A = this chain, B = another copy of it.
């Protein structure tokens, strides 16, 4: 599958442009250098210091100083900047894109990205949303890795009007970088990831903020793991949360309701109910781990 994708994809794409050279952007160009060396991976960042670092680290075929220069020959343009920058970037790039070019992004929310793309991009370029489930609490090009996408899920989001050939090409592209590609609508995507990704971030932040700094020196491995994602970059997460307001708020309500059930069981000394709540979480997580192991076995 992997090799097949590579043969297919190098016929479709001669050059790609990655806008934004952070952890994700840098990892995309690095992964292309490793897995698709026949494709030119051009990087752009609006920060001169990032461009300098990207060149020093050799993460791309070429790092250019000018946005238009990155676009003129690109068959695929990937936005790897915070979600709220997309609207402006779509406007800025619209006139410089090659006809037939595919545009995507790696943002963690998709509904607004689809709306902005539909509004700003010309009819002769094709937008598809991408969300590779890869990253870390680290940020910056210095943490970029060529194996960041190995075995990671990548969600492609499409609507009724999305070009099917573009979807096929993009699917092969992410597969060639090592991703397991899944498809869904942007609305379904934003609902699911509010629950499985944005909510853990919010509970981690709440957990850290609720704690007394003097007490935190006694925090053990459990606290550190539970709060790890709270070390993620605030500006990126503000964008994610503010582009998924309704789902994020509903997620908070659900967690708050569950905390309320736990509190009630504890305060009333209802051992049976408390054990039921704890057992339910343990069983659910146990099943999740078993399912994940089974999925990995089926992949290999």
Contacts and interface: CB of A to CB of B under 8 A. Distances in A.
A237 B201 CA distance: 24
B228 A286 contact: no
Contact of A242 (B230, B245, B274): B274
Contacts of A289: 231
Nearest to A235: B275
A220 B49 CA distance: 31
Contact of A284 (B193, B209, B235, B245): B209
Given A219-B288, A222-B228, A267-B245, A209 B281 contact: yes
Interface bin, chain A:
35 or more
A216 B241 contact: no
A86 to B, nearest CB: 16
Given A196-B211, A205-B277, A242 B216 contact: no
Interface stretch (A5-13, A36-44, A257-265): A257-265
Contacts of A218: 133, 153, 155, 192-193, 196
A213 B254 contact: no
A203 B256 CA distance: 9
A197 interface: yes
Q: Which of A222, A251, A274, A286 has the most CB of B within 10 A?
A: A222
A245 to B, nearest CB: 6
Contacts of A280: 208-209
Contacts of A222: 197, 200-201, 228-229
A24 to B, nearest CB: 14
Which of A249, A275, A284 has most B Cβ within 10 Å? A284
A195 interface: yes
Counting chain B CB atoms within 10 Å of each CB, the highest count among A282, A284, A285 belongs to A285
Interface of A: 133, 136, 153, 155, 191-193, 195-197, 199-213, 215-223, 225-235, 237-238, 241-242, 245, 248-249, 251-263, 266-267, 269, 271, 274-275, 277-282, 284-289, 291-292, 295
Given A206-B258, A238-B278, A241-B266, 5 more contacts: A197-B220, A203-B203, A203-B207, A209-B258, A211-B254
The 8 closest A-B pairs by CB, nearest first: A206-B258, A234-B278, A200-B226, A210-B254, A208-B281, A205-B281, A230-B281, A196-B219
